Amino acid sequence: MSDSSPHSGSHPAAEQALSYVRAISPYVPGKPAEAVAREFGVTDIVKLASNENPLGASPAAQAAMQQAMPPLNIYPDGAGFALKQALSKRFGLDPAGITLGNGSNDCLEMVARAWLGPGRKALFSAYAFAIYALATQEAGATAIEVPAFAPEHPDMPYGADLAAMQAAIDADTRVIFLANPNNPTGTWVDRDALVAFLDAVPSDVVVVLDEAYTEYVDDPVFPNGLELLPRYPNLIVTRTFSKIYGLAAMRVGYAASHPALASIMDRVRQPFNVSAQALAAAEAALSDDEFLERSRLANAEGLAQLTRAFADRALPTIPSRANFITVDVGHPAGQVFQALLREGVIVRPMGGPTAKYDADGRVVGLGHHLRITVGTDEQNRRVIAALDHVLSNMAETA
Ligand SMILES: *Cc1c(COP(=O)(O)O)cnc(C)c1O
């Protein structure tokens, strides 16, 4: 909790910050490679912690960005006209229903600023993307975390239980967040379940369908939020250039919705929230089909490689259709994470700083899980070998 931080507590002005803001535990990002090099003196680091594209960025985007090197004294196009036109053409969207964000994270926060506040509720599944809880809390609203499917569920362990979410909607529910596929589990909902859910949600409740990883799914029957927009005027679909497009450093994403919702989001949007270079890079990346296809194929192969390796070692994995896989390593995730850092491998420990256990000694939640981004063949081998080494050391000392 931030109250124990050395930078708050005894500072009179800091104490005057909103109580629900002071109660926030800040987002913990993936550990940067430079930090690991500094702390452990290791080189040749493999970072598979933040679901970045291991192939880099679209070459077309890199070229466009360099060519578009804008006059630094001129503000970018605050309306993002060219990128909205490109998105509109590519996906058949009404440009008036597109909201650009400084990463799609920015769009999620616009939704929270516009629709959430004290006395209002946001609803999401257990194991949902961490930002939903943060955005809800910073708006002073109440987060309702709906229990997910049990770890023993035959098809979708840890997946979002849409029937339970539907049952949890009440008169104060204003926003529902749902990622498909979800991070950090990789789990998904299919089209029939999603449509049945959207049909049941009252039309004055905003549903945010976060499709940050949808481009990795190569399945014609997988739900496409953009195609559902005409049917559901309360739907906001968010997508990002940070994942398959390989532009995480540029910070650019978007929301697509009915223009009436876009017009609301626009009121709480910073005027120049997307930089000129990010606009140019995103526009070029959007039509680099060769890079997209290459990224999708490499991911499918890498995901199969990691899934097979963990199955061979009897380490249970959560079904994933994203660019990462979440695996039960049978030990507290934080410990395994730390040991892997010494091997120069950065992954993401789940379930908080320390694992929790129930009365029978069974781990609660994802306390024994690591989320591992799919890397190149060589990176995947490195992480598997390092994990073998770490787990055999732990078995010896146990
Ligand atoms: C990575 C991610 C995002 C995208 O974040 P950006 O701000 O666009 O970089 C959004 N939602 C989920 C579920 C994610 O994992």
Q: What is the pLDDT of residue 6?
A: 57
User: Quick one: DSSP state of residue 183?
Assistant: T
What phi and psi, each to the nearest 5 degrees, are found at residue 91? Answer: -115, 5
Q: What is the pLDDT of residue 2?
A: 44
Query: Structure pTM?
Result: 0.95
Q: Whose CA is nearest to atom 10 of ligand 1?
A: 212
Checking DSSP bridges between strand 46-47 and strand 345-346, what pairing results, if any? Answer: parallel
* 124 Cβ contact partners less than 8 Å away, ≥ 6 residues apart: 132, 133, 143, 144, 145, 146, 165, 176, 177, 178
Q: Whose CA is nearest to atom 11 of ligand 1?
A: 212
Residues β-bridged to residue 176: 123, 207
DSSP 277-304: HHHHHHHHHHT-HHHHHHHHHHHHHHHH
The pocket around ligand 1, CB under 6 angstroms, is made up of: 51, 103-105, 129, 179, 183, 210, 212, 240, 242-243, 248, 253
Ligand 1 mean position, distance from CA 242 (Å): 7
User: Quick one: DSSP state of residue 362?
Assistant: P
Atom of ligand 1 nearest to the CA of 102: 7
Exposure letters 61-98 (e unless 16+ CB within 10 A, then b): bbebbeebeeeeeeebbeebeebbebbbeebebebebb
Between helices 276-286 and 81-91, what is the axis angle to 10°? 20
Query: Cα 117 to chain center, whole Å?
Result: 23
Query: Cα 335 to chain center, whole Å?
Result: 24
Q: What whole-number distance in Å separates Cα of residue 170 and Cα of residue 118?
A: 15
Q: What whole-number distance in Å separates Cα of residue 114 and Cα of residue 116?
A: 6
Q: What whole-number distance in Å separates Cα of residue 344 and Cα of residue 260?
A: 49
Checking DSSP bridges between strand 253-257 and strand 235-240, what pairing results, if any? Answer: antiparallel
Atom of ligand 1 nearest to the CA of 104: 8
Residues of the chain with pLDDT under 50: 1-4
Ligand 1 mean position, distance from CA 51 (Å): 9
What phi and psi, each to the nearest 5 degrees, are found at residue 185? Answer: -95, -30
Contact 168, 121 (CB under 8 A): no
Q: What is the pLDDT of residue 7?
A: 59
**Sign of torsion over alpha carbons 128, 132, 137, 141:** negative
Q: Whose CA is nearest to atom 6 of ligand 1?
A: 103
3-state secondary structure of 52: coil
Q: What whole-number distance in Å separates Cα of residue 103 and Cα of residue 278?
A: 10
Q: Whose CA is nearest to atom 1 of ligand 1?
A: 212
Atom of ligand 1 nearest to the CA of 210: 11
Tokens of 180: 């498909």
Q: What is the pLDDT of residue 131?
A: 97
Ligand 1 mean position, distance from CA 133 (Å): 14
Q: 225-232, long-range: CB within 8 Å, 24+ apart, which pairs? A: 225/180, 225/256, 226/91, 226/92, 226/93, 226/256, 228/194, 228/195, 228/198, 229/93, 229/97, 229/256, 229/257, 229/258, 231/198, 232/198, 232/207
Query: Cα 262 to chain center, whole Å?
Result: 21
Tokens of 302: 């890498």
Q: What whole-number distance in Å separates Cα of residue 117 and Cα of residue 136?
A: 8
Contact 254, 87 (CB under 8 A): yes
